[in-house]
């Protein structure tokens, strides 16, 4: 077998030597795939607020908490969080329980007092007529002095009875008015135009006098309450300008310091400032904000968020280099609405895929 294997190897070497100069080795080049219909754009720099950022929260300049004035059960709610209401709009209705009973009792008492007053007026009229008749009889000496005195006393008693009856009518009327006012407390209306910030009860809830029902933000300019480090104590004054960034909305607004709360929080080592916004369109109470000193803008690279490809913990974009797509890792910064800041991995002026990244492939050729 060793001889056969040796003969086979020698034969193969002879064949290669015989044809080695006639056959050239073949060359195969892989053709790059082509991707069409992608949307491309150049990365451009944009000025963004720089410097140290502080946490802030949007709030209304005036928030009121509407509370129940009487006890009862919540029958219906006329507004939910985020609703815009006008002054006088019905917000909460409490079930008509004791207030209605008290009003009916008060109205019955008023009717009774009015009846008693009418009877007292009739007695007074009769006593007046009797007194006048006895006065004429006394002039003719037809009645005794004792009989005349009795009639005069009855007249005075009738007059006092009318006074008491009229006072009772006024008291019953006041009780009726108070009961009517109390029944009006079953309907809680908006004291001013604003936005419902929080609903603190649900339908069917049992409430007592003083139970909070709704939080209502007065309609008007928004402000931002920010926490500043104690190192800035004495360095911030009313009228100072700040740039307020709203990441969820992708917008920056200018704000002015309206009020400084001097007390330092011993836990966070910070103090609060209230910033008045020049334009609060589209804001809502509780919205997160970042506050920076005005004038600290720096150049930043922003790209559409749709251009970023996320794979696990890695973020990248597809860049066009010499007509070919290249998958390039990038480091992201702040997100501003539909755009995201690129901190590294991309240079201004480079072309990248901003739409259709799902069809992009590294190494593919780009065609319109």
Kindly report, residue by residue over 129-179, the tens digit of the pLDDT.
Answer: 888 888 888 887 788 888 888 888 988 898 898 898 888 888 888 888 777
Joined tokens for residue 192: 């001013």
CATH number of 54-60+220-295: 2.40.30.170
Please give the pLDDT value at position 31.
66
Kindly report, residue by residue over 76-94, the tens digit of the pLDDT.
Answer: 888 888 888 899 899 998 8
Same fold: 54-60+220-295 with 68-93+188-218: no
Architecture of domain 68-93+188-218: Beta Barrel (2.40)
Question: pLDDT-based confidence at 26, cuts 50/70/90?
Answer: very low
Spell out the domain ranges in the chain. Answer: 34-46+299-367, 54-60+220-295, 68-93+188-218, 98-184
CATH number of 34-46+299-367: 2.40.420.20
CATH number of 98-184: 1.10.287.470
Q: Which residues contact 281 (CB under 8 A, 6 or more apart)?
A: none
Please give the pLDDT value at position 362.
86
Contact assessment for residue 285 and residue 59, using Cβ atoms and an 8 Å cutoff: yes
Question: pLDDT-based confidence at 110, cuts 50/70/90?
Answer: confident
Per-chain mean pLDDT for the chain = 80
Start-to-end C-alpha separation, the chain: 65
Report how far residue 181's alpha carbon sits from residue 183's, in angstroms, rounded to the nearest whole number. 5
Predicted TM-score (pTM) of this structure:
0.45
Contact assessment for residue 94 and residue 186, using Cβ atoms and an 8 Å cutoff: yes
Asked if pLDDT for residue 49 goes beyond 80, the answer is no
């Amino acid at each position: 077998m060793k001889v056969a294997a040796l003969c086979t190897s020698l034969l193969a070497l002879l064949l290669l030597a015989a044809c080695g100069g006639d056959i050239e080795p073949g060359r195969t080049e892989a053709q790059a795939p082509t991707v069409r219909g992608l949307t491309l754009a150049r990365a451009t720099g944009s000025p963004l607020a720089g410097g140290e950022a502080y946490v802030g929260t949007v709030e209304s300049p005036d928030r009121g908490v509407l509370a129940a004035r009487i006890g009862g059960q919540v029958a219906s709610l006329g507004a939910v969080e985020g609703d815009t209401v006008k002054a006088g709009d019905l917000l909460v209705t409490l079930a008509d329980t004791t207030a209605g009973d008290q009003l009916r009792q008060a109205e019955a008492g008023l009717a009774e007092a009015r009846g008693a007053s009418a009877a007292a007026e009739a007695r007074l009229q009769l006593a007046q007529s009797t007194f006048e008749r006895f006065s004429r009889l006394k002039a003719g000496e037809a009645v005794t002095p004792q009989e005349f005195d009795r009639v005069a006393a009855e007249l005075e008693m009738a007059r006092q009875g009318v006074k008491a009856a009229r006072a009772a009518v006024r008291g019953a009327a006041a009780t009726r008015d108070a009961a009517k006012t109390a029944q009006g407390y079953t309907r809680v209306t908006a004291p001013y135009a604003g936005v419902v910030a929080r609903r603190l009860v649900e339908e069917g809830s049992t409430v007592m006098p003083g139970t909070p029902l709704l939080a209502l933000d007065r309609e008007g300019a928004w402000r931002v309450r920010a926490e500043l480090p104690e190192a800035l104590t004495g360095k911030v004054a009313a009228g100072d300008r700040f740039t307020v960034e709203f990441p969820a909305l992708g917008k920056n607004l200018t704000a002015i310091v309206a009020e400084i709360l001097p007390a330092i929080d011993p836990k966070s080592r910070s103090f609060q400032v209230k910033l008045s916004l020049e334009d609060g369109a589209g804001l809502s109470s509780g919205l997160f904000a970042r506050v920076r000193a005005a004038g600290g803008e720096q150049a930043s690279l922003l790209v559409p968020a749709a251009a970023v490809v996320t794979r696990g913990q890695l973020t990248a974009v597809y860049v066009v280099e010499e007509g070919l797509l290249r998958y390039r890792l990038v480091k992201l910064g702040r997100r501003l609405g539909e755009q995201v800041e690129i901190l590294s991995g991309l240079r201004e002026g480079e072309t990248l895929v901003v739409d259709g990244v799902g069809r992009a492939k590294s190494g593919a050729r780009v065609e319109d």
